[in-house]
């Protein structure tokens, strides 16, 4: 049994007596006898914390693809970036970790101001003036962006480039069953989206595209922007918040909504979560914004203060007419991102993005020199790239694991010929020596 309850037996007896009850069972008199649990749960009795920690250490040992033992060349929405002790220590402060949603702003200025700083940073990255306090992950941000776009355009035909992360598109398809949005997935041609001519009788209400896209390719978003201008559709851009250190921002391309996966900013790979969805939009859409928004104000003494604002959009007030059902978000990861971005600063973001791009260039040149390894597409890439292989990608990944590398991600059935194609990522953490070893192992692993 756990030790997190403070009650002594005497105190329990006193409290029951105060209530006029004999036993703890009497507390549950309102529950009909017929449905009460007969006997015990089929769960083991509680054990000591050290025993539990030992169990988890064993589970952790069974994960061979752990970062400290296998060099990570996988990305695809989850990146092995440097997380300094500064970020770990500060983001791990229990005032941030163990507080609830800031419903009482007078005792939640810490979280509220950190989120205000986060919103500012995200807006500077995305190039759009309004950013919310985070959503669950990049996939959720895409879904919410599409919901906003459909509401704003008044049309539910949604064009999504297949360059958008395949899992995000799957989540969008799942939720479309409820919203009734009609989703058209637009294929890639040699790495960039081949937008069709819109049907004048059924033009898109939303156009969604990724920069760089899932294959790492850079797309000219002015094509998508013109498509939106011609049809009145809303442009949703899924961007890489690290690469944007070098690239024109979604706002500069004319995005109406920009979304991203925020994990690269100080959050552990963590087998996929908890991460955070970045979400930015134009001032015109602020009243359609999903999730929480922190605003600046003053207290009764005129001192600067922060508070969650434009609350009338939200589910607890607007209920079935709310812009979104989001309540709990990923605040701790937003605070973490604000800390990490301030640690990086202006020059650090450029430095990380540049080092990623240089590492990717170096690795890609080396890989393309290997017999039978070809580029998956010829469109320009930055920090991530896809390759065609002479062997199945799953086999390559298996062989590379034995050599100590997480080689990348198989494109699989998401893309044509994907069973023999792999997505490779290089972050600023990979040294030349590590990349050289990776290249040598790769050359061995693609031999038939």
Partner 1 sequence: MTGPAAPGGRAASAPLLGSDTEPTVFELSVPGRRAWSLRTTEVPEVPVADLVPVAFRREDQVELAEVSERDLVAHVTRLSHRQFSVDLGAYPLGSCTMKYNPKVCDAVAALEGLAGVHPAAPPSLTQGWLSLLVELERALCELTGMAAATLQPAAGAAGELTGLLLMRAWHQAHGSVRHRVVIPDSAHGTNPASVTLGGYQVTTVPTDERGCVDLDALCRVLDEDVAGIMLTNPNTLGLFEEDITTIARKAHDVGALLYYDGANLNAILGVVRPGDMGFDIVHMNLHKTFATPHGGGGPGAGPVAVAERLAPFLPGPRPVALEPDEEGTARFGWTVPPQSIGRVHGFHGNALVLARALAYLLVNGGDGLRRVAELAVLNANWLRTRLRGTFDAPYDRPCMHEAVLSARTLRDRFGVRALDVAKRLLDEGFHAPTIYFPLIVDEALMIEPTETESLQTLEALAQAFERIVAEAAASGPAEAHAAPHHTPVRRVDEARAARHLVATYDARH
Tell me which residue has tokens 């064993």.
58
Quick note: the x/- pattern for partner 1 over 8-27, rule CB under 8 A, is: ---xx-xxx-xx----x--x
Coil/strand/helix, residue 213: coil
Q: Is 271 in the site for partner 1 (CB under 8 A)?
A: yes
| Residue 383: C-alpha distances to residues 272, 292, 386 (Å) | 20, 32, 11
Q: Nearer Cβ to partner 1, position 388 or 414?
A: 414
Quick note: the x/- pattern for partner 1 over 149-178, rule CB under 8 A, is: ----------------x-xx-xx-xxx-xx
For 157, the token pair is 């035909």
For 387, the token pair is 């390759």
Q: Nearer Cβ to partner 1, position 180 or 200?
A: 180
Contact residue for partner 1 among 9, 41, 154, 201 (CB under 8 A):
41
- Rg of the chain over all Cα atoms, to the nearest angstrom: 25
- Give the number of residues in contact with partner 1, rule: CB under 8 A: 211
Q: Nearer Cβ to partner 1, position 203 or 290?
A: 290
Tell me which residue has tokens 């400290």.
68
How many C-beta atoms surround the C-beta of residue 88 within 10 A? 14
Quick note: the x/- pattern for partner 1 over 329-358, rule CB under 8 A, is: xxxxx-x--xx-xxxxxxxxxxxx-xx-xx
For residue 212, give the nearest of 353, 350, 381, 378 by alpha carbon.
381
Q: Nearer Cβ to partner 1, position 231 or 292?
A: 292
Dihedral sign for Cα 54, 55, 56, 58, please.
positive
User: What is the footprint of partner 1 within residues 289-318 (CB under 8 A)?
Assistant: 292-301, 303-307, 309-312, 314-318
Contact residue for partner 1 among 194, 284, 327, 368 (CB under 8 A):
327
Q: Is 37 in the site for partner 1 (CB under 8 A)?
A: yes
Residue 400 · residue 65 · CB < 8 Å: no
For residue 408, give the nearest of 216, 133, 131 by alpha carbon.
216
CB of 306 to partner 1, least distance (A): 8
Coil/strand/helix, residue 84: coil
Q: Nearer Cβ to partner 1, position 231 or 352?
A: 352
User: What is the footprint of partner 1 within residues 101-120 (CB under 8 A)?
Assistant: 101-111, 113-117, 119-120
Determine the straight-line distance between the first and last CA of the chain, rounded to whole angstroms: 56
Residue 139: phi, psi to the nearest 5? Answer: -60, -45
User: What is the footprint of partner 1 within residues 374-403 (CB under 8 A)?
Assistant: 380, 382, 394, 397-398, 401
Residue 241 · residue 264 · CB < 8 Å: yes
Q: Is 415 in the site for partner 1 (CB under 8 A)?
A: no
Q: Nearer Cβ to partner 1, position 65 or 391?
A: 65
Q: Nearer Cβ to partner 1, position 101 or 198?
A: 101
């Amino acid at each position: 049994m756990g030790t997190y309850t403070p009650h002594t037996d005497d105190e329990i007896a006193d409290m029951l007596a105060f209530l006029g009850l004999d036993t703890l069972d009497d507390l549950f008199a309102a529950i009909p006898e017929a449905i009460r649990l007969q006997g015990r749960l089929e769960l083991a009795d509680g054990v000591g914390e050290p025993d539990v920690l030992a169990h988890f250490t064993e589970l952790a040992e069974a994960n061979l693809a752990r970062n400290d033992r296998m060099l990570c060349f996988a990305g695809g929405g989850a990146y092995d970036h440097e997380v300094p002790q500064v970020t770990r220590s500060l983001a791990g402060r229990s005032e941030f970790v163990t507080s609830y949603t800031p419903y009482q702003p007078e005792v939640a200025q810490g979280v509220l101001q950190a989120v205000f700083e986060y919103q500012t940073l995200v807006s500077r990255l995305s190039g759009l003036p309004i950013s919310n306090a985070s959503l669950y992950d990049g996939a959720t941000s895409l879904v919410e962006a599409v919901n906003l776009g459909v509401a704003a355009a008044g049309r539910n035909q949604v064009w999504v480039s297949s360059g958008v992360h395949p899992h995000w598109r799957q989540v969008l398809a799942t939720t479309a069953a409820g919203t009734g949005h009609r989703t058209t997935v637009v294929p890639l041609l040699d790495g960039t989206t081949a937008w069709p001519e819109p049907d004048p009788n059924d033009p898109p209400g939303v156009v969604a595209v990724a920069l760089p896209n899932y294959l790492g390719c850079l797309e000219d978003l002015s094509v998508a922007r013109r498509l939106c201008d011609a049809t009145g559709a809303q442009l949703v851009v899924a961007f890489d918040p690290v690469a944007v250190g070098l690239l024109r921002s979604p706002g500069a391309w004319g995005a109406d909504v920009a979304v991203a996966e925020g994990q690269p900013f100080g959050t552990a790979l963590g087998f996929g979560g908890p991460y955070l969805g970045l979400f930015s939009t134009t001032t015109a859409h602020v009243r359609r914004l999903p999730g929480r928004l922190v605003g600046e104000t003053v207290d009764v003494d005129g001192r600067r203060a922060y508070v969650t604002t434009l609350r009338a959009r939200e589910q607890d007030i607007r209920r079935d007419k709310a812009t979104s059902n989001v309540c709990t978000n990923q605040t701790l990861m937003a605070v973490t991102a604000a800390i990490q971005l301030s640690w990086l600063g202006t020059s650090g973001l450029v430095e990380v993005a540049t080092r990623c791009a240089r590492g990717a260039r170096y690795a890609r040149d080396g890989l393309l020199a290997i017999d039978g390894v070809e580029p998956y597409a010829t469109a320009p890439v930055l920090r991530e790239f896809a390759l065609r292989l002479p062997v199945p990608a799953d086999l390559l990944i298996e062989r590379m694991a034995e050599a100590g590398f997480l080689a990348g991600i198989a494109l699989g059935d998401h893309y044509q010929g994907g069973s023999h194609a792999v997505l490779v990522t290089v972050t600023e953490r990979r040294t030349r020596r590590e990349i050289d070893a990776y290249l040598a192992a790769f050359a061995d692993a693609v031999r038939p």
